[in-house]
């Protein structure tokens, strides 16, 4: 193989060509603006969601006045709608398992008597936390109730129980999702998933489109080097990714008042790196796939674990070790931590380093694979 030097002229030619083609492709352009806006509205609803009047079952082993006050307070908080009273724990399990109730409250035997004696009886609240957004606020409200609900009842000789520690403990078991997801998790997650999705997909189609339209034969008959074609083709998408991020960030700051503690420039730097990593993967998929459909399938094959194992959907530390290991290969995992670090904690470059290099490594490896598998012939 005769060696040939990288040519800037050819590289620029490919970038210009991709830009023009992208400009003329209305559908893709719509997708670029449409996807972030659409997802923002969808997820934005989730961020604002403060669901009220959630179905609640009660197992009351003590039907005394304190219990009644407590249940009344729960109702008036607006979060709980006490639908039914059950007789035993098995029923609670059944109701939660089938999703008929969101919460189950168990008032232990002798709740009132223990309360009066100052024994701080335990009130068990079981929540179906498989939909954490639905549970969070209601649970927080109950904590407040513990302090205030019985204040009226605890007077006279019992008054000493009221002010200091809550007169009883609230024990919360978040079933199905031990850590829960905070609302702020969603904006970094949204940036990450939208970028993963659109960047990988769009570049995934870039090369296969040439192949399907027959223009690949022409491209291949020119002296263009694989590295020129691959990197040239991803350049315009870096800009597009940055536009998408700006759209999401603007909305996140304006609509949802997500804090921005760190340096915005640093954020954009991290975002650019993440975009480049995803584009490399897309273009590599594109070199492997025979047609656009295959490229699309590969994209989804990558997208799903990215969502599930990155800590976007489920808390990263809650996953089994092998899943964490798998998750730590994915750029999205590190990206989420980086963005949260910058936006919420105000992290600096030094803090971020441990999560920057895995993304770079991913990119280098993926580009290497792509170059190795790039079809230099029509075979």
Partner 1 sequence: MNDYAIDVQGLNKSFGKKHVVKDFSLQVKRGEIYGFLGPNGSGKTTSIRMLCGLLKPDSGSGTCLGYDVVRETAAIKREVGYMTQRFSLWEDLTIRENLDFVARMYSMTDRSTAVPAALEQLGLTERRDQLAGALSGGWKQRLALAACMLHRPRLLLLDEPTAGVDPQARRDFWEEIHALAAGGISVLVSTHYMDEAERCHRLAYIAYGSLLATGTPDEVLHRVSLSTWAVSGPPAPLAQLAPKLHGLPAIAHVTAFGSTLHVTGEDEAALDQALAPFRADPQLSWRRAEPTLEDVFIHLMPKTNGAPQ
Nearer to partner 1, 20 or 293 (CB): 20
- Least separation in angstroms between residue 220's CB and partner 1 is 6
**Nearest distance in Å: CB 216, partner 1:** 8
For 272, other C-beta atoms within 10 Å of its C-beta total 14
Shortest CB 16 distance to partner 1, Å: 8
Residue 232 Cβ vs partner 1, minimum distance, rounded to whole Å: 11
The minimum distance between CB 128 and partner 1, in angstroms, equals 51
Report in angstroms the alpha-carbon separations of 367 from 32, 288, 356, 361: 24, 12, 17, 10
For residue 183, give the nearest of 77, 256, 127, 80 by alpha carbon: 256
Nearer to partner 1, 17 or 175 (CB): 17
> Residue 119 corresponds to which tokens in the numbers above?
């024994």
Whichever of 171 and 213 has its CB closer to partner 1, that residue is 213
Q: Rank residues 215 and 348 by Cβ distance to partner 1 and give the closer one.
A: 215
- Write out the two tokens for 32: 């670029």
Neighbour tally for 178: CB within 10 Å: 12
At CB < 8 A and 24+ separation, what contacts does 222-226 make? 222/10, 223/4, 223/7, 223/10, 224/10, 224/14, 225/4, 225/6, 225/7, 225/10, 226/371, 226/374, 226/376
In whole angstroms, how close is the CB of 11 to partner 1 at the nearest point? 9
Q: How far apart are CA 250 and CA 325, in angstroms?
A: 33
Beta bridge partners of 107: 60
Nearest to 229 by CA among 215, 212, 244, 243: 215
Strands ordered across the beta sheet of 80-85: 80-85, 54-60, 103-107, 122-128, 169-175
Distance of closest approach, residue 15 Cβ to partner 1, in angstroms:
10
Nearer to partner 1 by C-beta: 18 or 128? Answer: 18
- CB nearer partner 1, residue 14 or residue 251: 14
Taking a C-beta distance cutoff of 8 angstroms, is the pair 330, 320 a contact? Answer: no
- Residue burial 310-328, b: 16+ Cβ < 10 Å; e: rest: bbbebebeebeeeeeebbe
CB of 19 to partner 1, least distance (A): 11
Which positions touch partner 1 (CB under 8 A)?
1-2, 4, 7, 9-10, 12-13, 16-17, 20-21, 24-25, 213-218, 220-224, 376-379
What Rg do the C-alpha atoms of the chain give, in angstroms?
27
Give me the least distance between CB of 25 and partner 1, in Å please: 7
Q: Are 365 and 348 in contact (CB under 8 A)?
A: no
With CA atoms as reference, report the closest residue to 268 among 232, 239, 308, 290.
239
Q: How far is the CB of 374 from partner 1 (least distance, A)?
A: 14
Nearer to partner 1, 1 or 350 (CB): 1
- Of the two residues 13 and 162, which places its CB atom closer to partner 1 in the complex? 13
- By beta-carbon proximity to partner 1, the closer residue of 148 and 222 is 222
DSSP 2: -
Instruction: Indicate the residue among 16 and 140 with the shorter CB distance to partner 1.
Output: 16
181 torsion bin: left (phi>0), alpha (psi -120 to 50), beta (else)? beta
């Amino acid at each position: 193989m005769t060696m040939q030097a990288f040519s800037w002229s050819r590289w620029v030619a490919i970038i210009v060509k991709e830009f023009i083609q992208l400009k003329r492709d209305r559908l893709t352009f719509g997708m670029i603006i449409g996807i972030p806006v659409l997802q923002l509205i969808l997820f934005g609803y989730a961020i604002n969601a403060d669901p009220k009047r959630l179905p609640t079952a009660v197992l009351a082993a003590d039907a005394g006045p304190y219990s009644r006050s407590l249940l009344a307070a729960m109702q008036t908080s607006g979060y709980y709608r006490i639908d039914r009273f059950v007789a035993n724990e098995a029923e609670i399990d059944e109701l939660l398992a089938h999703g008929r109730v969101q919460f189950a409250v168990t008032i232990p035997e002798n709740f009132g008597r223990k309360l009066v004696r100052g024994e701080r009886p335990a009130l068990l609240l079981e929540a179906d936390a498989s939909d954490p957004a639905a549970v969070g606020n209601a649970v927080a409200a109950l904590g407040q109730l513990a302090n205030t609900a019985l204040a009226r009842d605890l007077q006279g000789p019992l008054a000493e129980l009221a002010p200091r520690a809550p007169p009883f403990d609230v024990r919360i078991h978040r079933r199905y999702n031990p850590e829960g997801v905070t609302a702020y998790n969603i904006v970094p997650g949204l940036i990450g998933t939208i970028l993963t999705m659109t960047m990988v997909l769009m570049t995934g189609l870039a090369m296969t489109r040439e192949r399907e339209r027959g223009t690949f034969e022409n491209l291949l008959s020119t002296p263009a080097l694989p590295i020129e074609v691959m990197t040239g083709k991803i350049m315009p998408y870096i800009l597009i990714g940055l536009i998408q991020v700006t759209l999401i960030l603007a909305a996140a700051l304006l609509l949802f008042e997500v804090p921005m503690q760190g340096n915005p420039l640093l954020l954009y730097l991290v975002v650019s790196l993440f975009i480049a990593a995803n584009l490399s993967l897309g273009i590599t998929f594109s070199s492997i796939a025979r047609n656009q459909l295959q490229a699309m399938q590969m994209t989804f094959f990558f997208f799903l674990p990215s969502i599930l194992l990155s800590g976007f959907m489920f808390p990263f530390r809650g996953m089994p070790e092998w899943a964490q290991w798998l998750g730590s290969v994915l750029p999205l995992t590190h990206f989420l931590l980086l963005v949260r670090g910058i936006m919420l904690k105000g992290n600096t470059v030094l803090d971020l380093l441990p999560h920057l290099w895995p993304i770079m490594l991913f990119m280098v490896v993926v580009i290497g694979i792509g170059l190795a598998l790039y079809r230099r012939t029509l075979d």
